[in-house]
Amino acid sequence: RSVFTTVLVTRALIFLAVTVGMGAIIFGAMALAYRSRPVFVPVSGPDDPVARYRTAALIRLKMFGIGIPAVLGALAGVVAQSYWSRVQLFLHGGSFGVTDPEFHKDLGFYAFDLPFYRMIVTLLLVSFFLALLASVATHYVFGGIRLAGRDGTLSRPARIQLVCLVGTLVLLKALAYWLDRYELLSHTRGGKPFTGAGYTDINAVLPAKLILMAIALICAVTVFSALVLKDLRIPAIGLALLLLSSLVIGAGWPLIVEQFNVKPNAAQKESAYITRSIDATRQAYGLTPQYVEYREYGGGPSVTAEQIGRDSATVSNIRVLDPTIISPAFTQFNQGKNFYSFPDQLSIDRYIVEGQLRDFVVAARELNPTKLTENQRDWINRHSVYTHGNGFIAAPANTVSRIANDPNQNGGYPVFQTRVIGANGKLSPDVGPAPLEQPRIYFGPIIANTAADYAIVGGPGDPREYDSETSNYTYTGTGGVPVSSWIDRSMFALKFAERNFLFSNVIGDGSKILFNRDPAKRVAAVAPWLTTDSSQYPAIVDKRLVWVIDGYTTSNRYPFGEPADTSQLAGGSGLGGNFNYVRNSVKATVNAYDGSITLYAMDSAEPDPVLEVWRSAFPDLFTPASEMPDTLREHLRYPEELFRVQTTAYSKYRLDAADFFARRGAWSVSLAPREQPTKNAVSTSATTDTTNTSEDTAVQTDFASDSDAARFVPYYTMFHAEGSDEATFAMFRPFSPFSASDQRKELVAYMVADSDPGNYGQLIAYVLPAGSLPDGPFTVGAAMDADGQVSREATLLDSAGSTVEYGDLQMLPVGDGLLWMRPFYVESQEAGQRTVKYVIVEYNGDVGLGSSFAEALAVIFPGFSTPVGDVVNEDTGTPSTPSDNATPEELLQQAEQLFDDADAALKDGDWATYGEKITAARELVKQALDMLNG
């Protein structure tokens, strides 16, 4: 409420101030022109058009005299109120604690004050320009300006008024030239390879702005001199001089300096200014040594089967499930009803299971209104019966199922852990990765993907919300807005253009309406200045299901900071705007049951000046990070969108000025490998044109940008750093040496972003030794694709009507070497589901294919036999089937017992028995549902 009130009041005050201010200036100009009109105005004849205009204006004097200023002022007020955040930044802005290297002003001046000053000057320029036009029109209509004859006439009052208005405009232009000086620090000149004031800007444009300001002041004096000298030629000469100077001094001189002084000696001339841009960009994106640790990694070809066995902590955590591919499997095994859905791209998170940190593919089973059948879409069903989703589904990311004795099931599916309201209306056994007491989901991105996403809950009568085949439910949460009174019903009837609010008997005492149910949009509603990440993921926190959303504070006013390269962000990214400063300063949670929002301020280690503005403006909105529960902190993820922006910037701005300009030793984010196999591939010669030379020899004499080829998509993984005893949950992205046409595909370095609570946000750049660089991910992917066995299997499966797709290509540092792994997915035409058919491993040019990660490793490293836990239920046989005479109630009782058995097996760490029991229990539930549905 405080946010809504503050924003509303700020908008209203800006609107009133601008409307009244601009309207008063225009009205004053028109009124003065009217009051000083000549007493007698000759008429050229009965058809004099000016006389007709004058008569019309006199008849409607108030409408023209008040209406025109009011309308123009109101239009300006409507535009100005949209800049309410700029006003709040000015009122509450503080210090960055850093000064710019040119004017030595605190960066807070550029981020908070300068935009406000520019807005005020612009509004004044527009106001007095419109006042000038209004004065000219008024004087012309009422005879102060006459165009009859060869020269025309100008009355003394008209001359005085117009001279004052023009002189004021020239003075405001001088002030604008003064502010332009500061804008240069964020200026990008065409052809300049960096952002901010360069040699030409400092040595030509900046002096030009001062000279133009001085000329504008002189011009203003010449204009005002017409008040005394009564000669308009002098002001005309002054204005012509100002216009000519802006062309010659403002544009011509910098162009000459750039072409004949800077370009022939660019590296030398721009060096100091490139250094400024590098330092500012690193600070603006959090890439200084405070945030980024630089490490050397051996990367030598010394991996053996024994080393892999000793590094079992690394290989046992390899992720074989790709969250971008396996959503259909979640739907097949866990949808339950037609109106439940999972997102196309699932999420990766981690939980501690049996004392071990394990990563999981997770999803919430949400209600999807678009999946309701026709008879489920009437207003009562749509908004008061089918109101919520049900369940949290997780699958260990390093595990798939195998049921070898079942001829109809080759396995390769996730091993699910579910926490849902079962068919019997009771909460399923607690077999998820963490205890969950309330699996009902009233707020989520899928449930809100229709225009009218509201739900009416509570109210009179028996429970009516669908919960299971045997039970209904009544919402008991604190979320929602009362809708029982006639005033409330009328307001929502207007809001949603729905008359049923007025006449339906499902609304009564105790009824509430839940709306605005998209978690990201709820966060944007309470913190509209935040940029929210497009990815929101579910997590179990203190036995409650919440959505976790990353919030960014951004600015496009950081002096010398390079504008963010957002070309590598996915479509619809929350960070797709224009900015050159960013911090992930807010972690937001939205309770999936009641919609409550908590914003955690994450700037305790280093205060974020932009966030401090909003904390000052809305002191009760944020919760300090120190009050965040550990159960939430354990599920924070370093955001992918921020990591994409940072890795793109780091590849370019890690250099010094000399190397930066020549692109000597520069990096690029590695090319993305193919997602699908190449049919009948036999060699890599067409795709692996690369030379294993030192990255230091990669010199680009002419500054060039990265190509627009697809780049490696970062992924979350359990990363086991060299010398560490434990794996950490981190994000990974590799780099290759820069080349304008991507000829260089080797691996030169990789960066990981730590998400573990103790080291959250720490970026580590692992740099491989110069000399003989190993293959990068594009080359490794091509080698896998061209391997004879892989190619044969892909061709056979394709000819049989199946579709083959590769999962994430993942790198594992083992010993001093690098292993690459990629799951091999198959989608059959009959089943329409993707399963993990094989796992491909590559090391030092050798490729191994196996039905599991362990088997693939054994192909490359004979003798390797260490179990890595990526396959369960290998030889457990076919689950037993119940008697054909069993009733649905008996089937559900048997399933409940199997779920209990599975829970016990999970606690004992017996994954094979767990998978067997879960599969059998699901089959029983499916049979019971089939019997109940007839």
Cα–Cα separations (whole angstroms), residue 270 to 296, 565, 603: 31, 22, 35
Using the predicted structure, report yes or no on whether residue 159 has a pLDDT greater than 60. yes
Do the beta carbons of residue 281 and residue 582 sit within 8 Å?
no
Q: What's the average model confidence in pLDDT over 182-188?
A: 88
In 719-823, which residue ranges form alpha helices assigned H by DSSP?
777-786, 788-799
Count each helix (H run) and each strand (E run) in the chain, helices first: 29, 33
Mean pLDDT lowest for which of 118-127, 573-582, 697-706?
A: 697-706
367: enclosing H helix or E strand: strand 366-367
Band of pLDDT at residue 816, cut at 50, 70 and 90: confident
The whole-number pLDDT of residue 679 equals: 62
The whole-number pLDDT of residue 572 equals: 79
Do the beta carbons of residue 584 and residue 554 sit within 8 Å?
no
The whole-number pLDDT of residue 934 equals: 58
Looking at mean pLDDT, say which of 212-216, 790-794, 815-819, 918-922 comes out highest.
212-216
Pairwise pLDDT comparison (61 vs 523), residue with the higher score: 523
Cα–Cα separations (whole angstroms), residue 558 to 164, 184, 193, 384, 578: 38, 11, 17, 50, 12
The whole-number pLDDT of residue 214 equals: 96
Band of pLDDT at residue 586, cut at 50, 70 and 90: very high
Q: 896-907, pLDDT tens digit by residue?
A: 777 777 776 666
The whole-number pLDDT of residue 406 equals: 46
Pairwise pLDDT comparison (81 vs 141), residue with the higher score: 81
Do the beta carbons of residue 295 and residue 307 sit within 8 Å?
no
Q: What's the average model confidence in pLDDT over 405-410?
A: 48
Pairwise pLDDT comparison (656 vs 1), residue with the higher score: 656
The whole-number pLDDT of residue 299 equals: 60
Mean pLDDT lowest for which of 200-204, 448-452, 651-655, 762-766?
A: 448-452
The whole-number pLDDT of residue 878 equals: 36
What are phi and psi for residue 752, nearest 5 degrees?
-125, 145
Provide the b/e sequence for 659-671 (b: ≥16 CB within 10 Å): ebbbbbbbbbbbb
DSSP 758: G
Using the predicted structure, report yes or no on whether residue 684 has a pLDDT greater than 60. no
Euclidean distance between CA atoms 920 and 894, whole angstroms: 10
Band of pLDDT at residue 703, cut at 50, 70 and 90: very low
Q: What's the average model confidence in pLDDT over 744-771?
A: 92
Band of pLDDT at residue 176, cut at 50, 70 and 90: very high
Q: Nearest-CA neighbor of 716 among 290, 292, 328, 358?
A: 358
Q: 344-373, pLDDT tens digit by residue?
A: 999 999 998 878 888 999 999 999 999 998
Band of pLDDT at residue 702, cut at 50, 70 and 90: very low
The β-bridge partners of 841 are 821, 848
User: Could you give the 3-state DSSP secondary structure of residue 843?
Assistant: strand
Q: 443-452, pLDDT tens digit by residue?
A: 999 998 877 7
The whole-number pLDDT of residue 770 equals: 80
Q: What's the average model confidence in pLDDT over 255-282?
A: 91
pTM: 0.87
Find all residues with CB under 8 Å of 40, minimum gap 6, and list them: none
Q: What's the average model confidence in pLDDT over 147-176?
A: 87
Phi-psi label, residue 586: left if phi above 0, alpha if psi -120 to 50, beta otherwise: beta
Do the beta carbons of residue 850 and residue 862 sit within 8 Å?
no
The whole-number pLDDT of residue 149 equals: 61
The whole-number pLDDT of residue 886 equals: 66
Q: Where are the domains of the chain?
A: 1-154, 166-284, 519-643, 654-860, 879-934
To the nearest whole percent, how much of the chain has pLDDT over 70? 87
What are phi and psi for residue 161, nearest 5 degrees?
-65, -45
Report the mean per-residue pLDDT for the chain: 86
Q: Count of residues for the chain?
A: 934
Mean pLDDT lowest for which of 56-65, 593-602, 631-640, 885-894?
A: 885-894
Pairwise pLDDT comparison (432 vs 661), residue with the higher score: 661
The whole-number pLDDT of residue 191 equals: 64
Using the predicted structure, report yes or no on whether residue 687 has a pLDDT greater than 80. no
The whole-number pLDDT of residue 802 equals: 82
Q: 462-502, pLDDT tens digit by residue?
A: 899 999 888 899 999 999 999 989 999 999 999 999 999 99
Band of pLDDT at residue 883, cut at 50, 70 and 90: very low
